[in-house]
Amino acid sequence: MRFRSLHFVRMAGQRPVWLAILSCVVALVSGCLSTAAAQPKQERHRLRDLGIVVGQYSPGPLNAITDIAGVKVGHTTLISGEGPLQPGQGPIRTGVTVVIPRDDVWHKKVPAGSFVLNGTGEMTGLAWIAESGFLEYPIALTNTLNVPRVANGVMSWMIKQYPDIGISDDTLTPIVAECDDGRLNDIQGRHVSEQNVMTALESATSGPVAEGTVGAGTGMVAYGFKGGIGTSSRKLFEKEGGYTVGVLVNANHGRRQELLASGVPVGKLYDPPQQVSEATVPGQSEGSIIIVIATDAPLDGRQLARLAKRAALGLARTGSTVRHGSGDFILAFSTANVIPHYPKDPTYNLTHLSDTHLNPLFTATVEATEEAILNALTMATTVTGRDNHRIEAIDLSRLKTLLSGSR
């Protein structure tokens, strides 16, 4: 069969439901959307819209990583083709998601730290973050085999912004994190292009963040349900500094029986799945999760690495046991300070929060991570991909019933 190309660009300020409907209408009129990609309308809601509240702290206005002033998120979503896998051609269910810490982050670097919970995967550029304690370019998320191409896209975008890179200025080592979307996508095709990455970067906004089956999350599976992009935030009480923590995840991890929501063993209580989507034999993916944390609290690289470790507890609250084949990478940055590119003076000043005041931020990170993962599940839509593999979105009515029955 012949695969026709259809590329959806989803911007951070657009909600996935109405944008998906609009994209489907346009594509059907032009005759370039496969029936598998044209899923029926799927009404989806965020966790709090279902009346499910996680943790003690309240979220920011957007309940998203973009509640941190200056942070932008962009997506490019690629969906085309249906039926049997034809390696290199399709079906395509993939994309790229980018997080920009702030405008001109190259010259106004942000302190950063990371934590690798289980290393069966890749987040490039972590060695330089560990050495320098800062982040100086956007973060990109995509699928495993697309890492080099996405890195090329980030470099091309950076060179366009800063033409002296590699000539009279430093070179760069992009931050690209991956999860395996091969259960739904023709991953060998490496369909995310440099232009797709640049489009995501150029369209990134500081508004509401599209979640679920979007960008890098298009082909992801979490806890045996359709997974993908999720986000959440927490604002500390004024007496604790009033700081905000925002989290964005690409959820592609866990097995059905593990899933917890608000402490309830949803995975065990849920109706048996029609299709076993979890990997069950050696050599198949055990899934992964990428977690990006942003905060406006004045933390240095060492403290941000400590913050990144606490996200693992939020992951555990959703039931993950971080299996042998899982890649669990966490990156945290703070926008509170500016680290200059080439400081003229030998010293510069940074505001630094005392370690004894970190506990509220730790708690906020745990809560926001837990809710971001659950938002990825509740916002994701059912997807049929390669070889007609169909991954169902979690049934929201069933989820509410299970949670209300536990109270």
- Please identify which residue in the block is written with the tokens 């590329």: 7
Instruction: Find the catalytic residue in 193, 288, 320, 334.
Output: 288
Sign of CA dihedral 313, 299, 102, 108: negative
Burial of 81 (0-12, 13-18, 19+ CB in 10 A): buried
Strand locations in 90-238, DSSP E?
92-100, 108-119, 134-135, 139-143, 175-179, 221-222, 225-226, 228-235
Instruction: Find the catalytic residue in 67, 181, 296, 328.
Output: 328
| φ, ψ of residue 84 in degrees (nearest 5) | -60, 145
Pairing of the two strands 225-226 and 221-222? antiparallel
Cis (ω within 30 of 0) for the bond into 91?
A: yes
Instruction: Find the catalytic residue in 203, 233, 326, 334.
Output: 326
Identify whether 328 is a catalytic site residue: yes
Identify whether 288 is a catalytic site residue: yes
Identify whether 262 is a catalytic site residue: no
- Residues 273 and 391: their CA atoms lie apart, in Å, by 10
Question: Which residues make Cβ contacts (< 8 Å) with residue 86, sequence separation at least 6?
Answer: 1, 3, 186
- Residues 63 and 73: their CA atoms lie apart, in Å, by 14
Give me the amino acid identity at 233.
Answer: S
Point out the residues that are catalytic: 288, 326, 328
